[in-house]
Structure 1
Amino acid sequence: MPDATEEVPEQLLRLAEAYGVVPDYWGFDGTHLLVAPHTLIAVLAALGVDASSPERIDVSLAHVRDDPWRRALPPVMVVRQGESPQVPVHVQDGDPVQVWLELDPEAGGGRREVTQLDVYTEPRTVDGQRIGRATFELPSDLPLGWHTMRAEGPSGPARCNVVIVPDRLELPEQLREGRAWGFMAQVYSVRSRQSWGVGDLADVGELAWLAGRRCGADFLLINPLHAAEPAGPMTPSPYLPTTRRFVNPLYLRVEDIRETAYLSAADRSLVEWAAESVRSLDDDDGPIDRDAAWTAKRNALEVVYAAPRSTARQAAFDAFRAEQGEGLEAFALWCALTERYGTAEHWPAPARDPASAFVAAAKLELADRIDAHCWLQWVCDDQLAAAQRAARDGGMSIGIMQDLAVGVHPFGADAWALGDVLATDVGVGAPPDMYNQKGQNWSQPPWRPDAVARAGYLPYRDMLRTVLRHAGAIRIDHVIGLFRLWWIPQGAGADQGAYVRYDHDALIGILCLEAARAGAVVIGEDLGVFEPWVRGYLADRGILGTSILWFEKDAAGAPLAPEAYRRLALTTVTTHDLPPTAGYLAEEHVALRERLGLLTEPVQVVRRAARQERAAMLDALDRRGLIGPDPSEREIVEALHRFVLATPAVLVGVSLADAVGERRAQNQPGTDTEYPNWKVPLADGSGQLVGIEELFDSARLRSLVAALQHGA
């Protein structure tokens, strides 16, 4: 834990405050903890700030004080609709300046003048030049959108993004008075007889259609579909992608690509041979083998990619590529380089710089591979659209609920292409909590708050647009990361980090804008250690929270009464970081953590607490008449879901694993290879695999759905 006896110099505290680095925090057990000085220095270094000596700290403080005066315009302005903030414009002292707005074409376009105010500010000498400040005021009636502010005068031209965002993201009409419920699924684990060993986007479409048509479900929450490595071993975790903007083509259904139907007999045989090599994996109850599935699928996709496309199809591909722009081209180039050189950490040094002559030459040499990876994203986009159509055709009011991971792989595409807006030499994680008592390090490079603002938040916007493109809702994993993130210096333990603050008004505002344009509901996973005011802020902005039954306690530590739950939330019995409910009731979360050495308390203490928790929950169910004497496991699971339905929550989620009686966890936080994280195929309580063909005829699922319908 941090050494509270180390005194932090006052100047270091001031510098940390200037860059949003928080020198203290409250632990999960209510203790006040101080961040060690060496951690503050390391985190500041990751922000490009030298705090290695008292003299360097003084220089850095002077620099940050003058920095706003070095720019004619702010790097970006994110403004709530209806507000009219003042804008500081810096020019050579005495120079005139004209400022105007070019409106977003999606908001109607046009030009608006910006009024200068009669506000005097004392000029300042910065870097040997006398700099003056003129003050302008934005109009209060600007439409929502991404506008451009321009300044022109003798001091030179300048521009910045002005993003007008909704004050609040409104719920769709059906949720303003009512509620919706849906299933939660790990896509890769839910397979059909047509899968290639891994659940795919066609399976998602069928699952959503059947859930809507046969069960009355309104949404299907799925794991992140973000892209993984295009060659070599594939990282199993969907929460450690190479990029959050693009999709993992592992999830493609090869047979559903239009060109597959027109292959020659010889080429069709190649596709069928590839499928046959992994089709048996659909019946394998062992850990899911992504690498085998992707090897076979990639071979087949190469055949389909080489097939001719019709004029209209080629035009559609070209249009998609143009629309996605430089972000897609950079990702495709990274994929091509990965195919050639392997994992990015082993690339030749010049290849690690996207702006190098080496990379420019490689871009020409690898043009066909770049085209192939762009094509993969195009067919992914097509199949995602089809899945959402199937969900809505099945009667779902929301449809597919996408999941946005916290961050990206340290050697992935985003770390390479967006290196100027991501911090290096730190990883993102979480301080210790009651379920992960050593803390967590997710090894992900975070956004640099200053750099992503200087980029006008465009990388953030583009990421959101892709994820929202074919979604009726989006879940933001660890939404607290839009307020602050736990930065862990390289080589330090997960408990030796510090929080770094972000401009949450800007990040949440842009999220609301892009979700409003997409017509999507937004859910923030606001679990773990967070500041109390955050939940209220998110609710005010129209962002739903997350309530997990096992985590909701009253002041005495007893299960929270359903009536006391939040309305503006997605409420569920369990989450993917816990065993399914049947396993949780059997204390398998304790046994697993003991076996893996993750406990920091004696196992007897942890097991006793788990049994007390279970007893308290059964007592709560009994008091409400939801269970009788000596209830079975199935009856308890159904009662817990009826308990959740008694809450006012606008969204209720049901894990598919709970619906079939699965007991094994999908993920054990704090582990890597010690447990088959993200590789567990869907099975029932006896370990029998459950495919999509059998899923909705499962007696246990039908019984749970009936209980939900009765409870509603």
Structure 2
Amino acid sequence: MHRPTSSDTPAAEPAEGLTELARLHGIDTEFRAEDGTRVRTPPHTLVAVLRALGVDATTPGAVAAALVAHRRRTAERLLPGDCVVARQGATAMLRVPEAAKVWIELEGGGRLDVPAGSDDEPSTRVLSAIPLGYHRVRVRLGERHDSAALIVCPARIAQPERRLWGYAAHLYALLSERSWGMGDLTDLADLAQWSARMHDAGFVVVNPLHAMMPVAFADHSPYWPSDRCFPDPVHVRVEDVPEYRGLDTLARRAVEEVAAAASELRRNVMSGHGLVERDRVWDLKRRALRTVYQAGLSPERAVAYRAFLEREGERLDLHATWWALADRYGPDWRTWPAGLSDPGGPEVARARERYADDVDFRRWLVWVTDEQMAGVQRAALDAGMPIGVIHDLSVGVHPSGAEAWSLQHCLASGITVGAPPDVFNAQGQDWCLPPWRPDALAAHGYEPYARVLRGVLRHAGALRLDHAMGLFRLWWVPEGRPVSDGTYVRYDHEAMLAVLTLEAHRAGTPVIGEDLGTVEPEVRTELSDRGILGTSMLWMERSVDGYGGSVPRRAGEWRAECLAALTNHDLPSTAARLTGRHVDVRVRHGMIAGSVERERAAAALEMAEWREALWREGVLPADVEEPAEIVAGLYRYLLRTPARLVCLWLPDGVGDLRSPNLPGVFDAYPNWQLPLADEDSVPLSLERVKASARLDTLAGVLRAGSGRSLP
């Protein structure tokens, strides 16, 4: 998304009242840039962000009125806010008027009366011995009433008890001989079973599998979904849907004709002449799955389907309704006819009845995808994986999609999320994602966030949380302004973490937070205290050298509570770093603002420093030049760290030089469309990946260094 360029003129100092109003709503009025300088938030940004939170601050009079209204609301309340958080086994304090009556309505039914305060602290109520869950605390003082959500979460979630290793892969890029132009859930199950049985791998990390938009728009990114509560049926293996087996001859022939067209797509990708085309794959699968859907359900399957619909309830109905409407009026709900923008309105209810068959088809698609997702995790565990599939949760959703439509009351309008300028992106990043409104989340007891987590955790062995700092703060950018004109907006991280740890505890899954880049130290401390693993990327792990510079961090000095890796989808492949090709790519796409020669020299120095670190650690002789051996040495280095999880980026295992994504580059690079390939950029099928001697050798390194007990 194009952004205007920020002016070089320093931001004006906001008026005192505007500053106070912003801080009362969790809006930072300044931030510390990567170089340590303090940057003031422009007044117009504060006004725009307050507007997105439903507060008028356009004039001094409006600011004064908003301050008065805020103070009045605070004074009238009997409780300190909309949400109270308590940790299991700990005592929480609640301040209420001395004479107030306080009780708790429990999630599972029942009531707990909260005793009066002590003589020393009559206004303080002690909350203790409350079961885990989402409850409601209520207060009455005479004729006045107040209530708030009460979330009781575990003090800490469980972590793996021993060192495990596993693969990270992008499912769309992992085509097998039976794939329909892109990797599918059966391919993922195959990878998990093979890696567990052949190499004792403990997990597989995959890209987000959220429901995507009907068409890719300008970006195929799996981190720009339509709805995170449900999986995308483009990942379904059509032939593995139970109803497929019962098709009559005519229907089966129709599906086979579509499958033949899909095979041509696959051949085009695997020949190196084409890219992964998610839209074309989905068009074919949708036609085939419609034929399978029309075959109907057996009595036993019908019972299972009804149970699924009852479990998912209204949220699934809204998801399916959005799709039926998008088919007719386009994929952006903001342009639909009047009345259809309100998901709870009568026009939408009538449309749901009018398009009942299409709505039910989408619900069925979610169901059969959910079944195959469950099958993948079951296959991984049955093959011996202690964790199984680690699913990825994107930080937000497409503003035009189903989640933004159904939860629009909880999302900030006129705002997108991104990241401020830094050394990697001089202009900053605009992710084109509408952020959660902190006030709306609290008012709804964080149920919308909990529903998203449940959707992703349902069939997960663990959860990877993209941009974990978003639990604490997000960079909000008013639409139409440069990214550098944004500001951080704070979230109630205690509440966000309470929901996350409660849902992870209930699902029995570890959580891995992506906490790379510029992250406040207290963020990592808080995550660690809750049992949430961090992410440590080798190229970013550096220590101060005492001369104003930095050197590679010694393996023994890495943190233990993390997933350790060499690279990820936003960074160059290891093979590209070894050859310097990653600099060539950045030059080609205009991603280097300064001297190209200085960039090349810095890259060469970085590699030399790590080669020396490998030699000092005893994992690679100094004279080795073979790229595959250097990569193996880098992974041996990861195994020397105390990290609980060690991740092998599957492209590293086969020598792939290309990055799946170049952040900030759109049309000029095939982001999220490249199949897995070898060192010569020849696409590899899953069958060839499994037969790769290079991968087998590297997996043997990981296998030999894993499995030990951890403190």
Q: How does 1:543-554 map to 2 (within 5 A)?
A: 543-554=532-543
Q: How does 1:134-283 map to 2 (within 5 A)?
A: 137=125, 139-151=127-139, 155=143, 159-171=147-159, 175-176=160-161, 178-230=162-214, 235-283=219-267
Which of 85, 89, 96 is 2:92 aligned to?
A: 85
Which of 101, 104, 107 is 1:104 aligned to?
A: 107
Q: Name the stretch that deviates more: 39-48 or 294-303.
A: 39-48
Which of 364, 369, 388 is 2:377 aligned to?
A: 388
Structure 1: any 5+ residue segments left out of the alignment? 122-133
Matched, 1:114 2:110: no
Cα offset for 1:543? 0.5
CA deviation digits over 1:495-528, x for unaligned, max 9? Answer: 2210000011110111111101111010000012
Q: How does 1:572-587 map to 2 (within 5 A)?
A: 572-587=565-580
Indicate if the aligned counterparts of 2:214 and 2:331 stay in contact, CA closer than 8 A. Answer: no
Q: Which residue of 1 aligns with 2:68?
A: 62
Q: Which residue of 1 aligns with 2:606?
A: 613
Q: Which residue of 2 aligns with 1:444?
A: 433
Which of 564, 571, 589 is 1:571 aligned to?
A: 564
Q: Which residue of 1 aligns with 2:638?
A: 644
Question: Aligned partner of 2:111: which letter?
Answer: R
Matched, 1:75 2:75: no
Q: Which residue of 2 aligns with 1:126?
A: none
CA deviation digits over 1:163-199, x for unaligned, max 9? Answer: 110111122xxx33x2111000000000111110011
Q: Which residue of 2 aligns with 1:129?
A: none
Change (3 A) 1:69 1:360: farther
TM-score normalised by L of structure 2: 0.93
Q: Which residue of 2 aligns with 1:592?
A: 585
3-state SS of paired residue (1:456): coil
Indicate if the aligned counterparts of 1:682 and 1:689 stay in contact, CA closer than 8 A. Answer: yes
Cα offset for 1:116? 3.5
3-state SS of paired residue (2:410): coil
CA deviation digits over 1:65-85, x for unaligned, max 9? Answer: 222345565433222123443
Q: How does 1:283-682 map to 2 (within 5 A)?
A: 283=267, 284=269, 285=272, 286-344=274-332, 345-556=334-545, 557-628=550-621, 629-682=623-676
Change (3 A) 1:343 1:120: farther
Change (3 A) 1:69 1:265: farther
State the superposition RMSD in angstroms.
Answer: 2.1
Cα offset for 1:294? 0.4
Which of 30, 34, 37 is 1:31 aligned to?
A: 37
Q: Name the stretch that deviates more: 339-348 or 155-164.
A: 155-164
CA deviation digits over 1:272-325, x for unaligned, max 9? Answer: 111111112223232211111101000011111111212221111111111112
Distance (Å, rounded) in 2 between the aligned partners of 1:233 and 1:202: 27
Change (3 A) 1:70 1:251: farther
3-state SS of paired residue (1:352): coil
CA deviation digits over 1:437-489, x for unaligned, max 9? Answer: 22100010000000111011000001111111111100000000000000011
Distance (Å, rounded) in 2 between the aligned partners of 1:319 and 1:370: 17
Which of 12, 26, 48 is 2:18 aligned to?
A: 12
Q: Which residue of 2 aligns with 1:128?
A: none
Question: Aligned partner of 1:269: which letter?
Answer: R
3-state SS of paired residue (1:410): coil
Change (3 A) 1:5 1:402: closer
Cα offset for 1:3? 4.6
Indicate if the aligned counterparts of 2:158 and 2:509 stay in contact, CA closer than 8 A. Answer: no
3-state SS of paired residue (2:449): helix
Indicate if the aligned counterparts of 1:115 and 1:136 stay in contact, CA closer than 8 A. Answer: no
Distance (Å, rounded) in 2 between the aligned partners of 1:328 and 1:566: 41
Matched, 1:692 2:686: yes
Change (3 A) 1:661 1:331: same
3-state SS of paired residue (1:438): coil
Q: Name the stretch that deviates more: 152-161 or 56-65.
A: 152-161
CA deviation digits over 1:540-567, x for unaligned, max 9? Answer: 1100000000011111311111111110
Distance (Å, rounded) in 1 between the aligned partners of 2:101 and 2:355: 46
Distance (Å, rounded) in 2 between the aligned partners of 1:29 and 1:116: 51
Indicate if the aligned counterparts of 1:39 and 1:489 stay in contact, CA closer than 8 A. Answer: yes
Indicate if the aligned counterparts of 2:181 and 2:277 stay in contact, CA closer than 8 A. Answer: yes
Change (3 A) 1:268 1:231: farther
Distance (Å, rounded) in 2 between the aligned partners of 1:104 and 1:331: 26
Indicate if the aligned counterparts of 1:231 and 1:342 stay in contact, CA closer than 8 A. Answer: no
Distance (Å, rounded) in 1 between the aligned partners of 2:624 and 2:201: 31
Indicate if the aligned counterparts of 1:228 and 1:235 stay in contact, CA closer than 8 A. Answer: no
Distance (Å, rounded) in 2 between the aligned partners of 1:65 and 1:438: 38
Change (3 A) 1:36 1:233: closer
Q: Name the stretch that deviates more: 157-166 or 305-314.
A: 157-166
Change (3 A) 1:642 1:275: same
Distance (Å, rounded) in 2 between the aligned partners of 1:565 and 1:142: 37
Indicate if the aligned counterparts of 2:477 and 2:486 stay in contact, CA closer than 8 A. Answer: yes
Cα offset for 1:104? 2.5
Distance (Å, rounded) in 2 between the aligned partners of 1:68 and 1:649: 46
Cα offset for 1:611? 1.3
Q: What percentage of residue pairs aligned between the two structures are identical?
A: 43
Cα offset for 1:37? 1.6
Indicate if the aligned counterparts of 1:84 and 1:137 stay in contact, CA closer than 8 A. Answer: no
Distance (Å, rounded) in 2 between the aligned partners of 1:692 and 1:55: 65
Indicate if the aligned counterparts of 2:201 and 2:703 stay in contact, CA closer than 8 A. Answer: no
Q: Which residue of 2 aligns with 1:127?
A: none
Question: Aligned partner of 1:593: which letter?
Answer: R
Cα offset for 1:246? 1.0
Question: Aligned partner of 1:387: which letter?
Answer: V
Question: Aligned partner of 1:48: which letter?
Answer: G
Indicate if the aligned counterparts of 1:524 and 1:544 stay in contact, CA closer than 8 A. Answer: yes
Which of 687, 693, 706 is 2:700 aligned to?
A: 706
Indicate if the aligned counterparts of 1:3 and 1:35 stay in contact, CA closer than 8 A. Answer: no
Q: Which residue of 1 aligns with 2:709?
A: none
Indicate if the aligned counterparts of 1:152 and 1:158 stay in contact, CA closer than 8 A. Answer: yes
Cα offset for 1:421? 0.5
3-state SS of paired residue (1:350): coil
Cα offset for 1:256? 0.9
Question: Aligned partner of 1:388: which letter?
Answer: Q
Distance (Å, rounded) in 1 between the aligned partners of 2:653 and 2:647: 11
Cα offset for 1:41? 1.6
Question: Aligned partner of 1:206: which letter?
Answer: D
Distance (Å, rounded) in 1 between the aligned partners of 2:701 and 2:71: 61
Distance (Å, rounded) in 1 between the aligned partners of 2:382 and 2:69: 58
Distance (Å, rounded) in 2 between the aligned partners of 1:582 and 1:383: 34
3-state SS of paired residue (2:432): strand
Cα offset for 1:158? 5.6
Number of residue pairs matched by the alignment: 689
CA deviation digits over 1:117-163, x for unaligned, max 9? Answer: 37999xxxxxxxxxxxx957353001111223345687376654321
Cα offset for 1:570? 0.3
Distance (Å, rounded) in 2 between the aligned partners of 1:429 and 1:383: 33
